[in-house]
Structure 1
């Protein structure tokens, strides 16, 4: 799919991997709709990048807010004649916890809900709201493609670490539903791909201690460093542009062992 003159919706697009994706797609001629809770950085990004970027403040856990955002984005695409070509749900959180803590107390359910509601429920909610606007797109030559979903899984979906129970469950679900979505949407000419990054520099990983960071770096084969946001964004662009990439989960993990 060509990026130029198509709209791409990026949740969590005001920072980290989402912001890098916004910048990359925008640099290749795309129109970008950022959905995020951080209004300050979202609006700053709009001011920096210009008219082909719009910001919509919404929490991934808030269905009415997402509905309003998608409705406004759809109206914007009518003005620009740039149909929704892709959705990248990049909003995500990680909150370390085991089901049973040191004092033999069960984890508070609100901790699990917080992670699952953003990383999984919020993704499904955004996709179901966006898809009706994509299935009616004019199909493009030569394959009749109408759009692409690029989901964000994680290496934790394959080999989650202690304390990642909710995070691994949410990202494992993203991994599992990628092929299902690809099959469900094939008749509509819409692809679905997922990217599973390992240790990437982001706001989430910036909170890690030096000891934890070093232990994670040690399990990379090559290169021996965290991934960079621009490398993630480049992978998103590859998934958008290559029509043969469908139903697959692409690992970005430096051959992590």
Structure 2
């Protein structure tokens, strides 16, 4: 599927994977509607040319609808939605601090899983209303972000693993649901990527984490995630699958 001349929605677009993806799409001639919290845009500063910033919460239908409306009103058909927004709040079921707070668990599920579904459903509705791009009836692609924690979550990742496991699990049924509309659904499950979430760790801990990756023994880069998104768009026969982007990493218990 050719992306040039189309529009795309990217969540978490102010930093990390979302920012890298938005920039890569703009370079391909795509108008990007970027969703992030207001504080995220304040930290990021002015977005790059070709990126239309929207301050919003992916859990809120009205916020996502506003972004979809901007994409439609751009005059360029919405062909792609990429879900990068997420949180990784740690917590054990039982710890010295007591039992895991239900509110914290619900918040992680709400942002990572329900927020992803909220964007998926509303973006799909707009894509389905566009003219197909080929004789097969293809109209668009939705890329969700899971994590290797969906498959080998560590101690303290109970909420994060549950949320990302949900994202991975809904990939195939979402692709099957949307097949009649010519919309593909793919999920990327990153390993340890060098995003702002990693900025606070010490250099010693950083090197230790990198050594756990079989090959190449380093953190992944946001631009590698963005490149995979572009590749998924280009490969029309990829659908309903979860792809690990992790250097063959399998996470240890802790």
Look up the SS of the partner of 1:185 in the other structure: helix
Q: CA deviation at 1:42?
A: 5.9
Aligned to 1:204: 197
Task: Give the one of 218, 227, 240 matched to 1:225.
Answer: 218
How far did residue 231 of structure 1 move? 0.6
Q: Which runs of 5+ in 2 are unaligned?
A: none
CA contact (8 A) 1:191 1:247 kept: yes
- Pair 100,210 (structure 1): closer, same or farther in 2 beyond 3 Å: farther
Alpha carbon RMSD of aligned pairs, Å?
1.6
Q: Is the 8 A contact 1:150 1:240 kept in 2?
A: no
Q: Is the 8 A contact 1:70 1:129 kept in 2?
A: yes
CA contact (8 A) 1:154 1:171 kept: yes
1:57-90 per-position Cα deviation (integer Å, ceiling 9, x unaligned): 1012333322333233322x3xxx3110011011
Q: Tell me how far apart the structure 2 counterparts of residues 64 and 31 of structure 1 sit (CA, whole Å).
A: 21
Structure-to-structure mapping, 1:83-98, within 5 angstroms = 83-98=77-92
- Quick check: 1:122 aligned with 2:119? no
Q: Secondary structure of the residue that 2:143 maps to in structure 1?
A: strand
Does structure 1 residue 39 correspond to structure 2 residue 41?
A: yes
Range 123-132 or range 172-181, more displaced: 123-132
TM-score (norm 1): 0.91
SS in structure 2 opposite 1:204? helix
Cα shift readout 1:160-214 (whole Å, capped 9, x = no counterpart):
1110111111111111111111111111110000001100001112233445433
Q: Distance in 1 between matches of 2:206 and 2:90?
A: 15
Corresponding residue for 2:237?
Answer: 244
Aligned to 2:61: 63
Q: How far apart, in 1, do the equivalents of 2:59 and 2:232 lie? A: 26
CA distance in structure 2 between the partners assigned to 1:208 and 1:42 by the alignment = 21
Q: How does 1:183-198 map to 2 (within 5 A)?
A: 183-198=176-191
Choose 60-69 or 180-189, whichever is displaced more.
60-69
CA distance in 1, matches of 2:20, 2:172: 25
Q: Distance in 1 between the 2:178 and 2:3 partners?
A: 20
Q: Following TM superposition, where does structure 1 have runs of at least 4 consecutive aligned residues deviating by more than 4 angstroms? A: 209-212
- For the residue of structure 1 that corresponds to 2:46, the secondary structure is helix
Quote the residue 2:76 is aligned against: 82
Are the equivalent residues in 1 in contact too, given 2:149–2:165 (CA < 8 A)? yes
Query: Distance between the aligned counterparts of 2:207 and 2:41, measured in 1?
Result: 33
* Structure 2 residue matching 1:208: 3-state secondary structure: coil
| 1:3/1:72 CA distance change after superposition, 3 Å | closer
Unaligned stretches of 5+ residues in structure 1: none
Q: 2:164 aligns with which of 168, 171, 175?
A: 171
Instruction: Report how many aligned residue pairs link the two structures.
Output: 248
User: What secondary structure does 2:247 align onto?
Assistant: coil
Question: How far did 1:132 drift?
Answer: 1.3
SS in 2 for 1:222: coil
| Secondary structure, counterpart of 1:230 in structure 2 | helix
